[in-house]
Amino acid sequence: MKRIIGFMLLTVMLFAVLCPIGAQAVTVYDYTLVSKGASYTYSKCYTTAGMPYTSVDGKELTDGKITDEKYATEWIAFDYRLEAPMYAVIDLGKSYDNLGKFRVYLVATAHSGIDKPEKCEFHVSDDGKTFTKVGEGVYESDSAENTWCTLELNGKVSGRYVKVDMGEIPLSGVFVFCGEFEVYTIEGNDVPAASIPGIELKNESYLKSDGDYITKLHFGNTVEYVMKDFDDTTKVTAFSANGTKLGAKNVLKTGDYFAKIVDGTEIDRLYAVFEGDINGDGKITLNDYLHSLRIDKKTSTVSGAFLKANTDKNRIKNHFCGVINMFAAYPHHPVAPDVHVTDYTKHSLTLAKTNDGTYTLSTTASNGKALTQTFYKTNWGTWNIGALNVGGVHLAGGSTDWEYVFRAKGAKDGFSGGNHANEILVDLKIYDGVTGKEIKLSNGQKAQNLEKIKIVEKTKLHLGDSTKCYAAVTRNYTFYGETITLDCDYEFLTDMEFSLSYTCMFPVNKSVGLYCLFRNIDGTENYVETMEVGKADYSGPMYKNNAATECVIWGKKNTDYAFVVKVDTVKDSLDNFRNGSKTFYWDMNTSSNKLYFSRFPDSTYEKVEKGTQWHTSCSWTVFCLDEK
């Protein structure tokens, strides 16, 4: 049983006037799962593809088994094309008068035609015919690929049958994957409010909890990043200094705070303190120094976290003037390498045609080691960027795409382009990037002493029928040695609809890509640290919602290399960050991560009209950080 806490309030109060806990009575609830093994009925699901999830035995939803594997037998695939609305109804076997919690385990991130339901409403019934709605579930995670959608009631309801209504259609695609449906009863006992634990940091945290404050913070720390150091995040929410709720990706400033709120009553609060950020704007400027002088002279008064941030006026001045770094002594995540793409370093390049399906570009990297980059032919005939190696160490690529991929409405398997087929080759030509002379090689032949190599690849995108193409694409690759640029020109031959798609990607080995720093267009930076060993079933988190046109990627143990990946065409490549996912980093599998620059709405389709033309431009640069 899971222990939760609720408060017995005499009145309903707004957050701004939450009552102090004092000696108030608190009801501690025990949840008891009563649905395990129960029988159920459900709307029609997809059972004809031969994949594991299509083998339905009528026990999946209440057998207590959940999985993060994408297509395992634990899932059932609700299909709105077969029956809508999509639903499941559990028969608990008898009536309970103290039902208080309901939840379903769902695929929550769109892929392969699978997406969240448009809603998860829970209903109860005594006879299995007439149902009463008791509320709508909330997703426990806004970034995980699979998560629970949960409804916790403030009171109790009665019934024998419980229904989850998942609406007429998923947010995108055709399937809603559900792995478990749980129903709980609740019982409560009064305990003193003071017995409820507050917000505690993990013993191993580098942060410090100083009374009512969290200190040792660094600028750029996000809500999500700091909450990783909490011993328990149950019922903990972050707020700005003015009381506005913050999301996981919001960057904290002095005065923002974390509150543990249980059934409308605040149990504990911890304020964020950034040394020197006295005015709470998330940076240290001349204004903070002048503010510190006024506080010292008692001509200005601040309190709470803002006073705590006023450590010493001379330290603030010296930090602002660049004499010291106040944060250098604070433990924190590794500092991103100070790498920027300003110009392309000249290299002597060799291009070899290894075989009918592979070209290999080679040069000497700036650290004196051999650099090779492959360019390979896919099974359907187009050519893509392949594996990058330096000094015999595999750094990036090789098994998934760098180029674009579009989630096109009606496409076979949901996608077209990149590593997902539904694209045909029209023409491929290779040139000396300086002279413009075409390079023609037979298997085993080489072209040497090149400064730039330009590859022009013309293709057409389709939905599965190569005789009916919706867009013509010209890819212009330029290989400079340690930098690759890709300019794409698109012309749409028919109207087409797209949802969340990617106009530039970067697959990187975790040994050199554990960390990602997003350089956002507003001048801020967000940082991501991924798992050193990711999940084998590709269910790792996706760190989304970063309005970044440039990212720095680097490793923890292998610090010899860093990467800068850039997109220069904000409108055509990123649609000015109008979609929810924006730029994100996926903790992809056990050994690799992947960066995505996304376009189009996350869960709905957007029309692109015939005749529309785009130009997109991006680049990938590897920096060799050790000396020659």
Q: Read off the pLDDT of residues 41-91 as tens digits, 9 standing for 90 and up.
A: 999 999 987 788 999 999 999 999 988 788 889 999 999 999 999 999 999
Nearest to 552, CA basis, from 511, 520, 599:
520
Indicate whether 191 pLDDT > 70: no
**Residue 440 buriedness (CB in 10 A; 0-12 / 13-18 / 19+):** exposed
Indicate whether 625 pLDDT > 90: no
Across the range 248-276, mean pLDDT stands at: 89
Residue 232 has a CB neighbour count (10 Å cut-off) of: 12
Across the range 115-143, mean pLDDT stands at: 92
Indicate whether 626 pLDDT > 70: no
The mean pLDDT of the chain is 89
Residue 116 near residue 144, CB atoms below 8 Å: no
Residue 47 near residue 54, CB atoms below 8 Å: yes
Per-residue pLDDT at 194: 64
255 Cα distance to chain centroid: 27
Integer Cα distance of 219 and 485 in angstroms: 32
- Which structure tokens are listed for 100? 């208080």
Quote the DSSP letter at residue 166: -
Indicate whether 5 pLDDT > 60: no
Indicate whether 231 pLDDT > 50: yes
Integer Cα distance of 606 and 628 in angstroms: 50
Per-residue pLDDT at 263: 67
Q: What does the longest C-alpha to C-alpha distance in the chain come to?
A: 85
Residue 379 has a CB neighbour count (10 Å cut-off) of: 7
Q: Read off the pLDDT of residues 235-245 as tens digits, 9 standing for 90 and up.
A: 899 999 999 99
Quote the DSSP letter at residue 18: P
Integer Cα distance of 110 and 296 in angstroms: 55
Taken in order 491, 606, 142, 72, the sign of the CA dihedral is negative
Nearest to 55, CA basis, from 65, 63, 45:
45
Per-residue pLDDT at 27: 65
- Which structure tokens are listed for 432? 């000396």
Integer Cα distance of 361 and 448 in angstroms: 10
Q: Read off the pLDDT of residues 558-576 as tens digits, 9 standing for 90 and up.
A: 788 999 999 999 999 999 9
Residue 146 near residue 160, CB atoms below 8 Å: no
Indicate whether 4 pLDDT > 70: no
Indicate whether 392 pLDDT > 90: no
Per-residue pLDDT at 443: 96
Indicate whether 331 pLDDT > 70: no
Helix axes 313-320, 286-296, angle to 10 degrees: 160
User: N- to C-terminal Cα distance for the chain?
Assistant: 60
Residue 169 near residue 80, CB atoms below 8 Å: yes
Nearest to 86, CA basis, from 144, 54, 142, 41:
41
Indicate whether 15 pLDDT > 80: no
Indicate whether 114 pLDDT > 80: yes
pTM: 0.55
Integer Cα distance of 42 and 180 in angstroms: 12
Per-residue pLDDT at 110: 85
* Dihedral (Cα; 423, 424, 426, 431), 10-degree rounding: 70
Indicate whether 128 pLDDT > 90: yes
3-class state of residue 443 by DSSP: coil
Indicate whether 333 pLDDT > 70: no
Per-residue pLDDT at 192: 64
> Which distant-in-sequence residues (6+ apart) come within 8 Å of 106 by Cβ?
116, 117, 120, 146, 147, 148, 149, 176, 177, 178, 179
Indicate whether 3 pLDDT > 70: no
Q: Read off the pLDDT of residues 436-452 as tens digits, 9 standing for 90 and up.
A: 999 999 999 999 999 99
> Which distant-in-sequence residues (6+ apart) come within 8 Å of 581 by Cβ?
500, 542, 544, 545, 596, 598, 602
Per-residue pLDDT at 130: 96
Across the range 147-154, mean pLDDT stands at: 91
The single residue listed with the structure tokens 């941030």 is 309
Nearest to 100, CA basis, from 162, 165, 10:
162
If you write DSSP's letter for every residue of 534-561 in order, what string do you get? --TTS---EEEEE-EEEEEEE-SS--SE
Q: Which residue has the higher pLDDT, 219 or 157?
A: 157
Integer Cα distance of 88 and 104 in angstroms: 10
Indicate whether 594 pLDDT > 70: yes
Q: Which residue has the higher pLDDT, 219 or 492?
A: 492
Indicate whether 539 pLDDT > 90: no
Quote the DSSP letter at residue 293: H
- Structural domains of the chain, ranges and CATH numbers in brackets: 4-192 (2.60.120.260), 208-320 (no CATH), 349-624 (2.70.98)
